[in-house]
Amino acid sequence: MTLLLIEKLLTNFLLYVEELIQKAPHGKAKTAEALQQVSIQNEYDVQHLLYSVIKPFFPQARTETADDAGYGSIRYDIVLDDCDLTIETKCTRAKMTERQLTEEIAADSFHYQKGNVFFFVYDRFKIIRNKTAFEVAYSKEEQGKLQRTIGLQPIVFS
């Protein structure tokens, strides 16, 4: 049940971003000017906003958790120990290619020790050519452990 809720939060993350950043609050709101300054520029921005969505539902969630991978250490972006889950956030960059993104996911998938892994890709520059095929290709379930890839391609109006 927890994994389904997390998946729903990830899948609907753009709704949160749209309401928080892209839609203007009520005219009498004092936060309007400050919210206009908020934007997602990199992976750390995605991680911070995503964590703020997850934390109220899962107060035990942690960020930037280090672990020993046997050869060196790895850092998990968001961890929920209760359901043996880590969420790895990605945010595409202007000069990043789809191949580079897939190589990052493949490397992380190999090294991560948590049983369930969600790769959350905020495709800011729309480098993923076929989002549905991409999500299917980088998702799997083996021996009761889930690896799920969720890609979001925001629509930004200028």
φ, ψ (nearest 5 deg) of residue 99? -60, -45
What distance in Å separates the CA atoms of residue 103 and residue 16, rounded to the nearest whole number? 29
- Provide mean pLDDT across the span 96-120: 89
What distance in Å separates the CA atoms of residue 29 and residue 26, rounded to the nearest whole number? 5
**SS (HEC) of 16-78:** HHHHHHHCCCCCCCCCHHHHHCCCCCCHHHHHHHHHHHHCCCCCCCEEEEEEECCCCEEEEEE
For residue 66 the two structure tokens come to 């280090």
- Provide mean pLDDT across the span 141-154: 88
| pLDDT for position 75 | 81
146 versus 127: which is more confidently predicted?
127
Domains parsed from the chain with CATH numbers:
2-152 (3.40.1350)
- Three-state secondary structure call for residue 98: helix
Residue 158 confidence (pLDDT) above 50 = no
| pLDDT for position 70 | 64
- Provide mean pLDDT across the span 79-102: 94
Whole-structure pTM value:
0.88
pLDDT tens track for 44-90 = 999 999 999 999 999 999 998 777 666 667 788 999 998 899 999 99
Check: CB of residue 98 under 8 Å from CB of residue 129: yes
